[in-house]
Structure 1
């Protein structure tokens, strides 16, 4: 498992401003209509979060990701406000799946502004809900607080998961390194027992068949 921690340490060794810039840019792109289908914002956030080892780093990344997510939502809202339901027939939405657009619209009809918060945790749909909210003429003064709340909670959750995963990988490797030979020895012993047992069964079966023939 050393390759995993080596990779994480290499990522942690990158300049923090560069990590934040790339993570923020991918988050903004992932939250913008259409681009979210192509940009691995959530995956990038989880990977970048493995570099979070202190509270200040957590706070800075949380703020950057939250602001970029809200900015991406606002861009999507603006596009929906300007182009309306024509977006449903756009090439990008058709590529993502018009059923996701319909699901976003249904969520907004049932939940109102709360749908913006809930959709933040739903793959694909979260990319379309802001545009659908703009198309449905949901007031921006209601849209923005829900977007901020959802982005803040989503960012905190994923940064926490990524940070814990990075720490766990290093712990697992330290434990595994000490127990590696024990685990390997047990695996070899089990393999030998299985092979010997199969050979014994095969020999017994062959002997029985010979007796029946004789």
Structure 2
């Protein structure tokens, strides 16, 4: 499937990816709107993830929806939470369109290039192996940096009375 997508011209790949992102995110949003009763059970099992999604939505509003397309792991929780808290469609839809377009551009360029490199690596091309190795190193470094920043949270200082 991905090799077929990678063979398409950019604009066709972009449209296919954009449509899939819009269907997925809006479907998740509407599941959230319709499944408020089940939310408590889901939240009980995924408390930390849903708490992060709720905090992100409270802090950033519709920008959280757009930015969620750049994340892995919290994206679905943000869209589901947006539905559960009944974010108005006049805010959600433009944010979802912008995020879907951003995701489609990134995936149609860099993402498909990595897939093509992976396929070339499987076929034995040395440059494919190099590109895949560089991509994996970049992901690992980004993960380490993100974890260190998160762990460096400010420590509250005791005040003398």
TM-score bin, normalised by smaller chain: 0.5 to 0.7
Q: 1:82 to 1:90 in 2, by over 3 A?
A: same
Mapped pair 1:65 → 2:14? no
How far residue 109 of structure 1 moved from its aligned partner, in angstroms, is 0.1
How many residues are matched?
124
Check whether the contact 2:5–2:13 (CA below 8 A) recurs between aligned residues. Answer: no
Larger Rg: 1
Alignment TM-score, normalising by the size of structure 1: 0.50
RMSD, aligned CA? 2.8
How far residue 120 of structure 1 moved from its aligned partner, in angstroms, is 1.2
What are the equivalent positions in structure 2 for 1:42-57 lying under 5 Å apart? 48=2, 52-53=6-7, 57=9
Unaligned 5+ runs, structure 1 = 1-18, 20-47, 177-214
Alignment TM-score, normalising by the size of structure 2: 0.65
Q: 1:74 to 1:51 in 2, by over 3 A?
A: closer
Tell me the distance in 2 between the aligned counterparts of 1:79 and 1:175. Answer: 43
Check whether the contact 1:80–1:131 (CA below 8 A) recurs between aligned residues. Answer: yes
Q: 1:102 to 1:49 in 2, by over 3 A?
A: farther
How far residue 76 of structure 1 moved from its aligned partner, in angstroms, is 1.3
Q: Match of 2:104?
A: 155
Q: Give the counterpart of 1:99 among 9, 24, 48.
A: 48
Tell me the distance in 2 between the aligned counterparts of 1:163 and 1:57. Answer: 12
Q: Match of 2:88?
A: 139
Check whether the contact 1:79–1:131 (CA below 8 A) recurs between aligned residues. Answer: yes
Tell me the distance in 1 between the aligned counterparts of 2:110 and 2:3. Answer: 8
Unaligned 5+ runs, structure 2 = 129-161
